[in-house]
Structure 1
């Protein structure tokens, strides 16, 4: 009589409750800013233990769907995931899977030219002011401070992503940019030659965006990402050789 039966996988009660609340939040039954039922109310309504209810709420908080405040006047309210939530998930995935540098470059090549294309079409005067200001700081740091240069370079790409006015595409590009920034923290990478090359490339990209020439901006960013990746790959290779020699 037991033929054909297999081991059953029964979901945890906290997973079931988290899934139920998640579906209600995403269907706007609880809009952003709305309060969820209290822990006591959830325990009473579901028959679950307080521990299971708290675990479900912790899962939703980790996903950026709710925020919980402790204390007498605390509680759980519905929130919207931030850019940092997506960036953290992508970072954990890439680092946990040991995603190679070339894969990051491939993703950046897929994303950033389209970011520049949209930025040229959609940029506002505020976007241009931001890009020009960062470009000026980038030029200044290129002559003397590689660490500041790398930081301002990351800021420039973030500003470019914001100028696309596509929140999902921009956040994806920024998230990959964070990983590229971390990979660039090599003593032998940001040489004077690399810094000057990046500055020239950014001036050409900004020029295309100011002109509103989307196709030109796309092509120039594509060349910039490819050149940056080649320089970074060479630095990584040299660093690996140096470690092996030691």
Structure 2
């Protein structure tokens, strides 16, 4: 058998790569085109796509291919199609809740412990607290105090679930006023996952007296945080919030996996 020449070798090496490449289906190309227009802001929330006939002509495709493209985008929750309606497909912008849902599935499937999720929040929030305290901003402080006031109302009224939602919102606003959009996004995903766990946890692990005491401590601690940020004491603010989050992990954290808790 003769040796492979350079050209023959290159062809042989490229063959497995060529076989591994898959030409996108027509429906996928159409979905890509519409998706790109959504994420680039050319299509806004609530916009209606042109009628099927117009899209078929525009893309030069068949009706089955267009409807398959719609199914792809529906699965991604980027459009909503009302069957039998002449209104067409309606655009939905990407939502954090959709990412959170998938993140929860991933964390459950990966056997991640609940305490690990809380520890992730400990890594994200204290540096933002330091940043806020280093340059206190009146508008940011006003937003934080407004959220803290809402949280305090739910603490007094014993509205546990409302308190949890408000608490999650405080963490979200804290990261939002910090100015880093990516960290704010990650925090919102974490908070949504944590909320799933907490809703299950409060029905099984804590009695009313425990919950009231923890709520009161939480409100007081948040008030202290805002005071430290306003005073411009970055070291104390960061240290205080690290301790707050560590204590939260002690109360809410668990060595159980998220999968075990949510499946229970």
TM-score normalised by structure 1 residue count: 0.72
Candidates 8, 11, 32, aligned match of 2:44: 32
Is 204-213 or 57-66 further displaced after alignment?
57-66
Change (3 A) 1:224 1:81: same
Cα offsets for 1:86-113 (capped at 9, x unmatched): 3334333333434322331232122222
Aligned to 1:42: 55
Separation of aligned partners in 1, 2:174 and 2:89: 35
Sort the Cα spacing of 1:145 and 1:75 in 2 relative to 1 into closer, same or farther, 3 A. closer
For 2:109 and 2:66, locate their aligned partners in 1 and report how far apart those are by CA, in whole Å. 29
Partner of 1:137: 153
TM-score (norm 2): 0.68
Q: Which residue is equivalent to 2:3?
A: none
Change in Cα spacing, 1:36 to 1:117, as seen in structure 2 (3 Å) is farther
Asked if the contact 1:61/1:67 (under 8 Å) is kept, the reply is yes
CA RMSD of aligned residues (A): 3.7
1:201 aligned residue: 221
Taking a change above 3 Å as real, the CA distance of residues 172 and 44 of structure 1, as seen in their structure-2 partners, is same
| 8 Å contact kept, 2:152–2:219 | no
* Partner of residue 94, structure 1: 107
1:160 aligns to 2:180 (yes or no) = no
1:229 counterpart residue number: 249
SS in 1 for 2:24: coil
Tell me which residue corresponds to 1:243.
Answer: none
Unaligned runs of 5+ in 1: 241-246
Structure 2, unpaired ranges of 5+: 1-7
Decide which structure has the larger Cα Rg and report it. 2
What do residues 43-82 of structure 1 show as CA deviations (whole Å, max 9, x unaligned)?
234343323212323433454544556633x234555323
Matched length: 234
Task: Say whether the 8 Å CA contact 1:128–1:210 is kept in structure 2.
Answer: no
Q: Which residue of 2 aligns with 1:108?
A: 121
Contact 2:51 2:88 (8 Å CA) reproduced:
yes
Distance 1:198 1:126 in 2: 19
The equivalent of 1:150 in structure 2 is 164
Are positions 1:188 and 2:188 aligned together? no
Q: How far apart in 2 are the matches of 1:88 and 1:225?
A: 23
Runs of 4+ displaced beyond 6 Å:
1-4
